[in-house]
Structure 1
Amino acid sequence: MIIGEHLYLLVAVVTLILCVEMKAALGSFTTSGAGDDAKVRCIERERHALLQFKEGISYDYGLLSSWGSTKEMKDCCKWRGVQCNNITGHVVTLDLRASLGWYNNYQHLKGEISPSLLELQHLKYLDLSCNDFEGRHIPEFIGSFTRLRYLNLSNANVVGKVPNQIGNLSKLRSLDLDQGIENNGSLYVKNLEWLSHLSLLRYLDLSRVDLSKAIDWMEAINKLPLLTEFHLIECRLSVVISPSLPLINSSASLVVLDLSGNSLTSSIYSWLFNFSTTHLDFSSNQLEGGIPKSFGNLNSLRILYLGYNELTGKISEFLQILSRVAEKSLEILDLTANRVGGSLPDNISTFSSLKALYLEENQLSGPLPGTLGQLRNLISLYLANNQLIGTLPKCIGQLSMLESLDVAVNFLEGPIPLVLPNVTYLDLSSNKFSGSISFLCSTINENLRFFDLSDNHLSGKLPDCWMHMKELVVFDLANNNLFGKIPQSLGFLTQVQTLHLRKNNFIGELPPSLKNCRNLLVIDVGENKLSGHIPEWIGTHLTSLIVLSLRLNKFQGYIPPNICHLNSIQILDLSQNSISGIIPHCFNNFTTMVSRNKLENLIFYDFTGHDGSYYFGRYIDSALVLWKGQEYKYQTTLGLVRSIDLSSNSLVGKFPKEISSLAELVSLNLSRNSLTGHVIQKIGELKMLESLDLSRNQLSGEIPTDITRLNFLGVLDLSNNNLSGKIPSSTQLQSFYTSAYAGNHELCGLPLPNKCPGDETTLDPSVTNRVKTTSIKEMRMGL
């Protein structure tokens, strides 16, 4: 009876306390006006805390425009990114992840994480990812949000030590601190003991957090029994496996394990094989040797990334081990850039669930198996940069799901028998394929976006069916034996950005329909037999061009002045044609050559599948630049090159002074024309110039002393003009071979052997010997 009375009193007291707290809480709510139903709104102190947080943001791109103190903005539960509990009114969610606005404008917060957020003690979800907190530390008070279940501070530009106080968040289910490529290593951890307190954690991403000193990372992970997805990408991990390390048994919950981009060796295997992982990424590590038989324990394996390691052995051995446990389940196998050899076995077709096979950059040899056509679910097949021989099996055309095929840089030959109606990405370049490409017209492929058959032995005319391929972005048929006229239907490729037709035998004019391809960034039709005038529509319609190469054709007439509308042009090559007239005086309109802008070093395109779920690869564009008779291919640094080549034409008139405005120009070649007048006096304004060739013209007068300001000049040729006077003195100008100044009979001074009038010093014998040696060397080189 006494116990019952005490229990009754206890219940009464608790009820009274709850009522008092609820009344106090309700007293702080604002309610609707008379006649409206009472409605819970945000708590005043929490609203004030959020406004204080906003004050710490220096710029918000309008993301916090709904946050305010006016009557219509007073309810913080209606603010962007804020969510309140429907009953208590407490803020439980703060989701301020940055977003993409109109035209992919990156909209983010910039400033600091204010301690005022401490007032939000009922917070369960906090996402501040992809913002810019300007290199500040993660505040330790984050560890005070003890109700927090989701925390995301990824790509937020925070630095320093990850606070151990995060270990206080015992209810946390998801933690993401990935700092992205730009801030790689900006965060660091000395040990991960605090992580073991997060026993409810299911998702963990510490990618690009420096864990080089956290040798206990494996022990910490072993203490997270509910962890299902785990990412430690580029964390500078080391492997220290203690004999006393408790290994997780095969019933562990881990499904996704991503340890790519570290320096892990094969010693990691003994820890790895105690998981029942279905998605494993060990790419870009230091794994070596053959695939261990222990892989046969991964009986739920669906996705396996082992690319960019030092793995060896035969591909048949890899597949045999995997077939024991994953023959019917394996969807993705990536062994890119290893040293795996041997031939692809016929029984690869037994992997019936396979969707993507990445084996490029290995040592595979032999022919392709004729059973490939049985891989009915295959979406991506990458076999580039191997030593494959034989023909392309007709059965590949039976892969109705195939969207991406790359067999570039092999020794495959014969005709191309493909009929691939769904392919998006097709790269057959750098092989020995022959015959025509008429197969393109045998089926309508409206999905094709990447098409590269360059560097083969293809012949015949270019098909006239491009009106069916309006999604094409990259089109490369360079270095083949194609002939005939370029068809008008190319004008239907309104999305095309790269057009490479170099080194073929095309004739006639550039089709006027190409002016419809307004997205073009690169046109290279050099080394053909094209004729006619340089079309004026290039300057009026294709104003986004970065590379224009019409080199080594039969173009004639003058350079149209409206070519100066190409404000983004970086490489302009009209050399080795029959172009006459003067050089337009508007080249200073080439904005990209005048001042450095924010262009990427690369000109590239990323390709994905129809639904975006599969990444097919990145195409890095390239261009050829001729320096001193040699071709240089620029690819990864293409965005840094600025070049003008008008050599070997019939141009007349003076050297345009406007060219001196092109301060970012790297290479200028006006040789083998009939230019007259003086070398421009302000040539030193071309401060980035590395190569200058003005040879074989009719230039006269002295070499301007301003040329000594060209500190990066590595190639110079002023030979065979009518230049006179003394060669200006500078360390560079005297270091060039005599051939750079030869054929200017009134030119004198070093490095030439003839002294200028008034020079009294005797020529240094070592210079004389060098001149003689140089002359012999040049004779041997055929100069």
Structure 2
Amino acid sequence: MANNNVFIQLLFLIITSSGFLFHEIIKVGSCQGDHQRGCIDTEKVALLKFKQGLTDPSGRLSSWVGEDCCKWRGVVCNNRSGHVIKLTLRHLDSDGTEGELGGKISPALLHLKYLNYLDLSMNNFGGIPIPEFIGSLEKLRYLNLSGASFGGPIPPQLGNLSSLHYLDLKEYFDESSQDDLHWISGLTSLRHLNLGGVDLSQAAAYWLQAVSKISSLLELHLPTCALADLPPSLPFSSLITSLSVIDLSNNGFNSTIPHWTSIERLRNMGSLCNLKTLILSQNDLNGEITELIDVLSGCNSSRLETLDLGFNDLGGFLPNSLGKLSNVKSLWLWYNSFVGSIPSTIGNLSYLEELYLSDNPMNGTIPETLGGLSKLVAIELSENPLTGVVTEAHFSNLTSLKEFSNYRVTPRVSLVFNISPEWIPPFKLSLLRIRSCQMGPKFPAWLRNQTELTSVVLSNAGISGTIPEWFWKLDLHLDELDIGSNNLGGRVPNSMKFLPGATVDLEENNFQGPLPLWSSNVTRLNLYDNFFSGPIPQELVKECPC
């Protein structure tokens, strides 16, 4: 009896500790039983009427035959009831199957009383209006009509979908129509809103107030919406504290970044501390960003992962508080008017993967702390008059680095690379673009282990002598080779390999010997101002577009 009690207790422990597995087994069993019953007849009829209104040149709906509509492509039924709950008919299925649907959307969908998920994105409905009856599918929680070539204004009936969590209507609307946002107040459960590319100029004066009424919202995507007006201060609301994504790019606000009122009050409220993505690029914003960065970095634990303020007219020095954005992965500040140095606190951003600072008049130095960012994949510093000396310390722990670019059109050299020829980089680059920086006088020996390069630019870099034999033997497959405006000499071998559409620039050097004969993949070849000799190869003449 004692042994039996022990066995029973052990069995009970196994069952309770494996409850999830036990539950899944029961669920699979009941699921199989449900499929034997098939779908609801009235819903199958509704789906067939819906199919009749569509054009389907690729035959994506060819599986819509037979008794059990729950087995049809793109149709998902509830395991227990058999009711259709999901239609996934986007242009590209998750399994890679493509097929463009068109035609008309039948109101027969109204007979799918339990439908909570409708995805018709990236199809081509030829400019027809979004059907007003979609606003009567009261159980919808997910609606994606993005890129499906609908025309006309957004029907205000969509505002009746009070259970909707996800709404994506971005792009491909009739450019002649202008939409308001009054209808949006009815979406009281909405978490994700994307109206990218929809002309909301009629709502420019009140869009922020309208959106602020949706307290459940987590993601706000309103890029390229012709909003124009950016309020000078943001309202205090539960929306501001709950949002995790804000994308207001390409709206042409032409103003300063909004004041965030009292920084201390915002910190106490936890405002913006849930924000993971902030995109305000291409908006003609001006002024400094210190206050904004202080607010974003003032949280006990900043969650921000992406900050994109590129293509504006923001200026001043980059604040040291950038280094407190402890979780940021992507920092896009290019095409602005920032000055000075890259702050040394950048080295605190241990999760940083992308750093884009190009096309600013930054005339300071690059801190050595940058070299400690082991997750950094891409560094873009081009078109900045940066000064100082770059050593291997600046790259010491960049084990993930794939792209480095410091390209300046001007011939003036202000930045010097002083790297030991014995140094072995901890990374494997795919892109290296350096122009108008002092790299020489010798060809950089640290490239000898860079076997994954596809783009090499070492132009106007003060390099002289001959290119080492080991470089020609790296077995690279390049789409760009630019070593022009140096003082390089010797012969150029035919062994280089190029990808389709490749460009090669060897101008203003001292190369000698016969012209290199490379693959027809090279579409642009600049050999100007060298000492090549001999006949022009017939293969080169045939490829010449002259």
- Give the structure-1-normalised TM-score: 0.56
In the alignment, what sits opposite 2:360?
386
Cα shift at 1:56 = 4.3
Cα shift at 1:557 = 3.0
Equivalenced residue count is 496
Cα shift at 1:83 = 1.1
Cα shift at 1:350 = 4.2
In the alignment, what sits opposite 1:523?
504
In the alignment, what sits opposite 1:267?
232
Higher relative contact order (Cα pairs below 8 Å, separated by 6+ residues)? 2
Cα distance 1:79–1:207, how it changes in 2: closer, same or farther (>3 A)?
A: same
Cα distance 1:409–1:154, how it changes in 2: closer, same or farther (>3 A)?
A: same
Cα distance 1:38–1:52, how it changes in 2: closer, same or farther (>3 A)?
A: closer
**1:95 and 2:88 aligned:** yes
Please say which of residues 490-499 and 506-515 is displaced more in the overlay: 490-499
Cα shift at 1:288 = 2.8
Cα distance 1:48–1:473, how it changes in 2: closer, same or farther (>3 A)?
A: farther
Cα shift at 1:372 = 3.6
1:262-341 to 2 correspondence within 5 Å? 263-267=228-232, 269-270=234-235, 275-276=240-241, 277-284=243-250, 285-286=252-253, 288-289=255-256, 292-294=259-261, 296=263, 297=266, 298=271, 300=273, 302=275, 303-314=277-288, 316=290, 318-320=292-294, 322-325=296-299, 328-341=302-315
Cα shift at 1:220 = 4.0
In the alignment, what sits opposite 2:407?
429
The one-letter code of the counterpart of 1:196 is S
Of 212, 219, 225, which aligns to 1:235? Answer: 225
Cα distance 1:136–1:300, how it changes in 2: closer, same or farther (>3 A)?
A: same
Please, what is the CA RMSD of the aligned residues?
Answer: 3.6
In the alignment, what sits opposite 1:50?
47
**1:126 and 2:93 aligned:** no
1:361-760 to 2 correspondence within 5 Å? 361-417=335-391, 418-419=394-395, 420-430=398-408, 432-435=414-417, 442-446=424-428, 448-463=429-444, 466=447, 468-486=449-467, 487-490=469-472, 492=474, 494-515=476-497, 517-519=498-500, 521-536=502-517, 538=518, 542-563=519-540, 584=541, 586=542, 644=546
Cα shift at 1:120 = 3.1
CA distance in structure 2 between the partners assigned to 1:365 and 1:463 by the alignment: 30
**1:76 and 2:76 aligned:** no
Judge conservation of contact 2:440–2:461 (CA < 8 Å) in 1.
Answer: yes
CA distance in structure 2 between the partners assigned to 1:126 and 1:220 by the alignment: 25
* Structure 1 stretches lacking a partner, 5+ long: 1-31, 238-262, 564-583, 591-642, 645-783
1:753-772 to 2 correspondence within 5 Å? none
In the alignment, what sits opposite 2:5?
none
2:390 partner SS: coil
Cα distance 1:518–1:218, how it changes in 2: closer, same or farther (>3 A)?
A: closer
TM-superposition CA deviations, 1:335-385 (whole Å, max 9, x none): 434444443455654444444433333333334444443333333333323
Cα distance 1:383–1:148, how it changes in 2: closer, same or farther (>3 A)?
A: closer
Judge conservation of contact 1:40–1:86 (CA < 8 Å) in 2.
Answer: no
In the alignment, what sits opposite 2:129?
137
* Structure 2 stretches lacking a partner, 5+ long: 1-31
Cα distance 1:347–1:554, how it changes in 2: closer, same or farther (>3 A)?
A: same
**1:221 and 2:211 aligned:** yes
In the alignment, what sits opposite 1:212?
201
Q: Percent identity over the alignment?
A: 35
The one-letter code of the counterpart of 2:225 is C
Judge conservation of contact 1:112–1:134 (CA < 8 Å) in 2.
Answer: no
In the alignment, what sits opposite 1:678?
none
1:136 partner SS: coil
CA distance in structure 2 between the partners assigned to 1:134 and 1:197 by the alignment: 28
Cα shift at 1:156 = 0.5
**1:195 and 2:191 aligned:** no
CA distance in structure 2 between the partners assigned to 1:479 and 1:286 by the alignment: 39
The one-letter code of the counterpart of 1:458 is M
Cα distance 1:467–1:368, how it changes in 2: closer, same or farther (>3 A)?
A: closer
1:476 partner SS: strand
TM-superposition CA deviations, 1:412-438 (whole Å, max 9, x none): 234421323221221122252235665
2:193 partner SS: strand
The one-letter code of the counterpart of 1:498 is E
CA distance in structure 1 between the partners assigned to 2:356 and 2:35 by the alignment: 63
Cα distance 1:323–1:464, how it changes in 2: closer, same or farther (>3 A)?
A: closer
Of 152, 166, 174, which aligns to 2:166? Answer: 174
Judge conservation of contact 1:473–1:496 (CA < 8 Å) in 2.
Answer: yes
Cα shift at 1:93 = 1.2
2:118 partner SS: strand
Cα shift at 1:274 = 6.8
Cα distance 1:342–1:492, how it changes in 2: closer, same or farther (>3 A)?
A: same
Cα shift at 1:409 = 2.0
Judge conservation of contact 1:472–1:493 (CA < 8 Å) in 2.
Answer: no
Cα distance 1:64–1:469, how it changes in 2: closer, same or farther (>3 A)?
A: farther
The one-letter code of the counterpart of 2:438 is H
CA distance in structure 1 between the partners assigned to 2:36 and 2:312 by the alignment: 64
1:165 partner SS: helix
Cα distance 1:137–1:110, how it changes in 2: closer, same or farther (>3 A)?
A: same
The one-letter code of the counterpart of 2:442 is K
Cα shift at 1:41 = 1.4
CA distance in structure 2 between the partners assigned to 1:404 and 1:48 by the alignment: 54
CA distance in structure 2 between the partners assigned to 1:169 and 1:148 by the alignment: 7
1:340-359 to 2 correspondence within 5 Å? 340-346=314-320, 348-359=322-333
Cα shift at 1:128 = 0.4
Cα shift at 1:159 = 0.7
2:189 partner SS: coil
Q: Which has the larger radius of gyration?
A: 1
1:405 partner SS: strand
CA distance in structure 2 between the partners assigned to 1:317 and 1:199 by the alignment: 32
CA distance in structure 1 between the partners assigned to 2:385 and 2:97 by the alignment: 45
Cα distance 1:522–1:164, how it changes in 2: closer, same or farther (>3 A)?
A: same
1:397 partner SS: helix
Cα shift at 1:222 = 4.3
Cα distance 1:346–1:205, how it changes in 2: closer, same or farther (>3 A)?
A: closer
1:161 partner SS: coil
